[in-house]
């Protein structure tokens, strides 16, 4: 029964890889990739696996990928709202992790077997998010 918990992670990684390939070669691949990214919008989606606090799930990357998927479908005037909608929950969650009393000290850089200081990782994600918002406001 313990091997079954990795099936969802494997399936999601497979969908992401196939979705990226489809997105490169066709416009419909973006929809497939957008569907594959939905489970990753919750930063704690990886808690049931050994990949908990993985850099991909504990970042704004899934939200940015989700927003990018819809940017070709919607007009440019909605891009700002797309980024806000898909990244805001992750940004708020990461800010909440700063005050965590459960020893939130590192982000896992799997498959590289390295870790990062979580506070630096959260700071980097917040600065990236604010930079993207400022750029989209200027456009």
Range of the domain at 122: 2-43+51-138
**What is the distance between the alpha carbons of residues 38 and 26, in angstroms, rounded to a whole number?**
20
Q: State mean pLDDT over 100-106.
A: 59
What's the number of domains the chain is made of? 1
> Where is 106: in which H helix or E strand?
strand 106-108
Q: State mean pLDDT over 119-137.
A: 88
Q: State mean pLDDT over 90-109.
A: 71
| pLDDT tens digits, one per residue of 1-49 | 444 455 666 767 777 777 777 777 776 777 777 877 877 777 776 666 6
Q: Is the pTM of this model over 0.85?
A: no
């Amino acid at each position: 029964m313990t091997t079954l918990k990795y099936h969802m992670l494997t399936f999601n990684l497979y969908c992401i890889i196939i979705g990226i390939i489809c997105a490169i070669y066709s416009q419909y691949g973006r929809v497939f990739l957008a569907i594959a990214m939905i489970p990753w919008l919750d930063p704690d989606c990886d808690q049931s696996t050994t990949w908990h606090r993985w850099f991909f799930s504990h970042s704004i990357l899934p939200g940015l990928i989700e927003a990018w998927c819809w940017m070709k479908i919607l007009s440019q005037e909605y891009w700002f709202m797309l980024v806000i909608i898909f990244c805001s929950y992750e940004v708020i969650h990461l800010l909440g992790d700063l005050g965590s009393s459960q020893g939130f000290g590192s982000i896992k850089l799997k498959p590289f077997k390295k870790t990062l200081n979580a506070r630096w990782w959260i700071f980097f994600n917040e600065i990236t998010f604010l930079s993207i918002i400022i750029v989209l406001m200027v456009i």
